[in-house]
Structure 1
Amino acid sequence: MSDIPNLEDHCSAVLGDCTDKKTKSIGTRYRLNEEGDLFRKIGDRFVKVPTIHERALLLKEVHDGHGHYGQDATWKRLYLQYWWPKAYEETKNYVKSCVPCQLFANLPENLPVVGKVPVNHLFERFGIDYIGPFPESRSGNKYIIMAIEYFTNWPVAKAVKKADSETTVKFLYEEIFCNFGPVEKILSDNGSHFTSKEVEEFAKYVNTRHQFSAPYKPSTNGKVEHVNNVIAKGIKKMVMNNKKNWNTLLPAMLQVNQEEEIFKEEEPLIKKSARIEIGDHVIMKNYLKKDKLDSAFKNKVFTVIDKFHNNTFVLVNDEGVKLKRAINGAHLKNFVQRQVVNSKLIKK
């Protein structure tokens, strides 16, 4: 990359503003390649500075194209390759206003996060679980069987037609033991596909200790439950209009999940619900879900026009029609509408 002879020739199109004092040190911080792309030095590396018109597409690629991860994970991925003024703020606003993320997010609960199960070395413990049932795919699959290696968080998964003991034994043998060798412990819930005689005989045959999570407390098997949730939500967001192809996205979601381990965000000890005020836009919990891939919230946005002390709210739809009954706040969530930023016209 060659030195930029004159930043002002490029700054209107790329940075959008040349008045910042920081741009005065351009000679040492910016470079231009042969294709005319602008790069900025951050630490010991150069990252691309996209034009104003490229940024929205980049945010879509980094967030929508990588499993709809959260604000911090999306920003860290973007920051590895790109920079522009107010990039973090734009990334945060883009993720907050992502429609699929808002429709499929759960209502936050005021519950403490469960602690981690300790492991000391590789292949000491695998957690295993099923996700589903999903709508039947074109290849006849309705479930995902998932395993997590607890020391490295490495995920192994396969789309399957049934959630039964035969499928469990086949998966453990072919995908775990044949690929990784002996495993000391397997942790699962108390479903019949794990507690069956066939599974117990297999565990005894391979000399593996089979442990079970506490009944009605799936968070005991926290790691696999967490990854199940991430994988399922990622698939849901990406197949909103084509549910028959969900199983074709599984390999990509596993790869994205593994990459995102580097960018993993720390969960707060307590998750608190956001306050809803008059004038806010909200979406309503979807209690009529037909299948596993349906969104957690209805794809309709309402506006709050009144609120009461008993945590109920009066809503109108996008046509200004008021709902007949007030809605309890436990069924509502704030909806962030994406703001369109008007780029400055570039004078020639």
Structure 2
Amino acid sequence: MPFGLKNAGATYQRLVNHLFAPLIGNTMEVYVDDMLVKSRTADQHIPNLSAMFTILKQYKMRLNPTKCSFGVASGKFLGFMISQRGIEANPEKIQAILDMTIPKTVKDIQSLTGRVAALTRFISKATDRCAPFFKALKGTKRNITWTAECETAFSELKEYMGRAPLLSTPEHGDILVVYLSVSASAVSSVLIRSKDNAEHLVHYVSKALQDAEVRYPDIEKLAFCLVVSARRLRPYFQAHTIHVLTNQPLRQVLQKPETSGRLVKWAIELGEFDIHYKPRPAMRGQAVADFLSEFTKPQASAATQLITEPNPSPIQDQTPTENTLDLTQPLWTLFVDGSSNAQGCGAGLVLVSPDKVALEYALRFNFQASNNEAEYEALLAGLRLAKEMDARQIQIFSDSQLVVHQVNQDFTAKDASMTAYLQHARHLLATFHAHSIKQVPRSENSHADALVRLASALEQGMGRHIHIEFLAQPSTQAPLICTIDHSPTWMDPILQFLQNQTLPANPAEARRVRHRSARYLVINGSLYKRGFSLPYLRCPTPEEGHYVLREIHEGICGNHSGAGSLAHKAIRQGYFWPSLHTDAQAFTQKCDKCQRFANIPQLPAEPLTAMVSPWPFAQWGLDLIGPMPEGKGQVKYAVVAVDYFTKWAEAEALATITAARIESFVWQSIVCRFGIPNSIVTDNGRQFDNAKFKQFCSNLKIRLCFASPAHPQSNGQVEAVNKIIKKTLKTKLDKAKGCWPELLPEVLWHRIAFGRHHTGARSLTVASPLFTFCRCVSVFLFSSVLAVYWSVGCDNERSMMIDPKACFSRTFAVAA
């Protein structure tokens, strides 16, 4: 190839990959013009070299003898020293750093950071070590400020590079372990492999936090650290099982749909890898000495400082005994308070995580409760919240003497209500590994007390900054449960793996379940299918799936659509199961009305004709349906209008089809609701082609267009909607044909909510007319009966997940 071509390197690499394909990965590694022949023993080396030279001779390629080395135990490849011991840093690059003097100019610091960047895979927390150098570069480009911190970092860097670690190469089948660490300005990780009960370093990763990344919560920084590691070490993550050792609830955070939008994207990105989250054991190797703590500089939030700074005595002075709590493990702290007064009953609680992140929670009761019952309700709500956050041990502070002493078995519960609450509290406390409950004065529980005052106060005239959840009934009142026996379904293995990490005994089946589970998540005990865009798709049971298909097909919003359209509608409404298309086809085949009234194609297919409309409601198609069976009010016609852009349809039943009735319909249903259109397309009927209607359009500057008598497809948009309306009315009414005027609004609702010409996957327009016009979806009966999580975009790039059933059943709810 001639010099100067940009693709010369890639073309040459493609050539050598083709030539040495049988040897690459076994006895040879090739990168452009760097070729490495490797052998485990000296006896194998000569045949391996012979195989390479045979290929070179066959394709008439030559090597430069002055640049070749043969029979060496170690050598340089791609800038690294490769030997039987592992991968070492290039001694020349290390010596270049050791020989550097104290930088005096900007170029000297840039030279230092550039040399460090070439060896980052060998340097633990490289970004943190070089942070003082980056600070020195800020400001003017002529002068630098070389501080004592820079001097210390420079000396420590030289000392570290003098004993640069040796990298190990993982073998097939090895389980690799990842340790994560987060500092105030960077995230770092280390990938290691265990062999002979020892930890061997594979790769270091480090990245500086930029702009908004610095303001991420600590748990999101930890997730971001894992994502950065997966991106940089993608070949390792794809080829091996990864164990992430962390004491933080990282797996629970990545699987919760209430988390931020970026966490959902990260969870989907990590879903392709075989990642397992395990607690941290005792660290042994020198490679992970810098990763003893996951958060080197934890930042306390303002809400936590409000709790801990004024009155630190509840935590410092009343530390529980060591046989109750293990202070070496993460400890959650809970402050609870309840109140009952003439204005109402409520509870407030503050849950503080081990990272000093405070979660505020307020409840208002829709039932009457005493002060002691309100205190118990606050305690139970706090325990439920801590359990959802996967807390293992918890320290509780309450200002109720009765509740604290009854839970600690110092007082006896004699009242039936107190006995029921006490049993419920002990049942929840038994789910924690360790717990401790202490009484504190009300003055030291001011934060929870402020929340309970907010919850129990009247709502009128209050500006609320804390979300309040309404509790419909006491926690001790058992809900009515009707037991239904379900046969085993396809969801059972996936649910068992996601909830309990249980896999089938068959290795092939276990591998298949683990692979499929990456595309699903569990929300409140229900299985949902995740994708690259929200909303999540609810996975119903076979009974629920049959109900969804029946409601979509023949319910109040159904139009007896075909199998493909029916399955596509179910997915668009937020439901999914693997046999959806097969079940939809079987359902439509059993429908008597579909078999009797389905369309029978009689004409060959023709190419689609493009119909251009510049903006919504700029061009409307107008046509008539009828005569039909006479209905109430002696109506037997219908006038239909369709917008060419959004496919929005309007229709009205008429007794007579005069020019005055058409003019009234256009004025009331189109102009007064959607504005004056640019043009209207009609056929050549006398109701449209008359002087009165033309004058009406001329006064409003509406261009009136007539379809060719010999080519009615020129107004095909409204003709297609007419066909859908007549077919839907026919299948819904069957023999009761005179009721079509009452069902006409229902048919239009289906048309607006579900969509287009074809509502199936064949349609060119994916969005329904309602979504195209209002950017929202319609809620149907099955959507409110079976909870589906919808996405509502927020300004802070978060996604608020709404359960329609919960929203309609109570005033306001906030997921904890």
TM, length-normalised to structure 1 = 0.65
Q: Secondary structure at the match of 2:614?
A: coil
What is the CA distance between 1:97 and its match in structure 2? 4.4
CA distance in 2, matches of 1:83, 1:267: 20
Counterpart of 1:39? 527
Separation of aligned partners in 2, 1:64 and 1:11: 25
Partners of 2:707 and 2:637 lie apart in 1 by 21
Within a 5 Å distance, the mapping from 1:36-185 to structure 2 comes to 38-43=526-531, 46-65=536-555, 66-79=558-571, 80-108=573-601, 109-185=603-679
Shift of 1:174: 1.5
Conserved in 2, the CA contact under 8 Å of 1:49 and 1:82? yes
1:248 is aligned to 2:742? yes
CA distance in 2, matches of 1:24, 1:259: 37
Does the aligned pair in 1 maintain the 2:621–2:643 contact within 8 Å? yes
Q: CA deviation at 1:212?
A: 0.5
Change (3 A) 1:110 1:41: closer
Q: 1:15 aligns with which of 490, 504, 509?
A: 490
Name the SS for the 1:170 alignment partner: helix
> How far does residue 265 in structure 1 lie from its aligned partner after superposition?
4.3
Shift of 1:45: 5.2
1:23 deviates by: 4.3
Determine the C-alpha separation between the residues in 1 that align with 2:517 and 2:700. Answer: 65
Paired AA for residue 197 in structure 1: A
Q: Deviations over 1:172-193 (max 9, x none)?
A: 1111122222222111001111
Q: Give distance in 2, aligned partners of 1:266 and 1:146.
A: 24
Residues 146-188 of structure 1: CA deviation (Å, up to 9, x unaligned): 1111122111111111222121111111111222222221110
Relative to structure 1, the CA distance from residue 220 to residue 102 in structure 2 (aligned partners, 3 Å threshold; closer, same or farther) is farther
Cα shift readout 1:57-113 (whole Å, capped 9, x = no counterpart): 321112222212233332122124323341221112323443323322332121415
Is 2:720 the counterpart of 1:232?
no
Alpha carbons 1:101, 1:237 under 8 Å: kept:
yes
Please state how far the C-alpha of 1:46 moved relative to its aligned partner: 4.5
Distance 2:565 2:748 in 1: 16
**Residue equivalent to 2:680:** 186
Q: Distance in 2 between the 1:26 and 1:212 partners?
A: 56
Match of 1:300 in 2: none
Amino acid at match of 1:15: W
Q: Which structure 2 residue ranges, 5 or more long, are not aligned?
A: 1-255, 257-387, 390-484, 494-503, 765-816
> Contact 2:529 / 2:576 at 8 angstroms: preserved in 1?
no
Deviations 1:179-213 (A, max 9, x none): 22222211100111111222122122222221100
What is the alpha-carbon distance in structure 2 between the residues aligned to residue 96 and residue 267 of structure 1?
A: 22
C-alpha spacing 1:46/1:162, structure 2 compared with 1 (3 Å): same
Q: Counterpart in 1 of 2:157?
A: none
For 2:547 and 2:618, how far apart are their aligned partners in 1? 43
For the residue of structure 2 that corresponds to 1:210, the secondary structure is: strand
Report the CA distance between 1:225 and its aligned residue.
0.8
SS in 1 for 2:542: coil
Change (3 A) 1:13 1:47: farther
CA contact (8 A) 1:32 1:39 kept: yes
Which consecutive aligned stretches of 4+ in structure 1 deviate over 6 angstroms post-superposition? 25-28
Does the 8 Å contact 1:14/1:49 carry over to 2? no
- Residue equivalent to 1:6: none
Distance 1:194 1:264 in 2: 33
Q: Please give the per-residue CA displacement for 1:109-153, whole angstroms capped at 9, x wherever unaligned.
A: 214155133222333321100112121112322111111111221
Measured in 2, the distance between the counterparts of 1:17 and 1:178 equals: 54
Question: CA distance change for structure 1 residues 77 and 117 in 2, over 3 Å: closer, same or farther?
Answer: closer
Do the aligned residues in 1 keep the contact of 2:491 with 2:527 (CA within 8 Å)? no
User: Which residue pairs with 1:210 in the alignment?
Assistant: 704
With over 3 angstroms needed to count, the CA separation of the structure-2 counterparts of 1:101 and 1:267, relative to structure 1, is farther
Match of 1:258 among 736, 743, 752: 752
Instruction: Return closer, same or farther for 1:216/1:265 CA change in 2, 3 Å cut-off.
Output: farther
* Partner of residue 481, structure 2: none
Q: CA deviation at 1:25?
A: 7.0
Structure 2 CA distance, aligned partners of 1:40 and 1:11?
18
Instruction: Tell me if the contact between 1:235 and 1:246 (Cα under 8 Å) persists in the aligned partners.
Output: yes
* Alpha-carbon distance between aligned partners in 1 of 2:657 and 2:584, rounded to the nearest angstrom: 39
Alpha-carbon separation, structure 1, partners of 2:517 and 2:620: 53
SS at 2:629's partner residue?
A: coil
Task: Flag the 1:216–1:228 CA change in 2: closer, same or farther, 3 A.
Answer: same
Percent sequence identity is 27
Specify the code of the residue in structure 1 equivalent to 2:530: I
What SS class does the counterpart of residue 53 from structure 1 fall into?
Answer: helix
Instruction: Find the residue that maps to 1:58 and give its secondary structure.
Output: helix
Contact persistence 2:569–2:760 (CA under 8 A): no
Question: Partners in 2 of 1:85 and 1:159 — Cα distance?
Answer: 42
Letter in 1 for 2:561: Y
Give the Cα–Cα distance (whole angstroms) in 2 for the partners of residues 256 and 93 of structure 1: 22
Q: 1:242 to 1:124 in 2, by over 3 A?
A: same
Distance in 2 (CA, whole Å) between partners of 1:13 and 1:70 is 29
Instruction: Report the more deviating stretch, 243-252 or 14-23.
Output: 14-23
Per the alignment, do residues 115 and 45 of structure 1 end up closer, same or farther by CA in structure 2, a change over 3 Å counting?
closer
- Counterpart of 1:116, as a letter, is A
Tell me which residue corresponds to 1:279: none
SS of the equivalent of 1:254 reads: helix
AA aligned opposite 1:191: G
Change (3 A) 1:42 1:95: farther
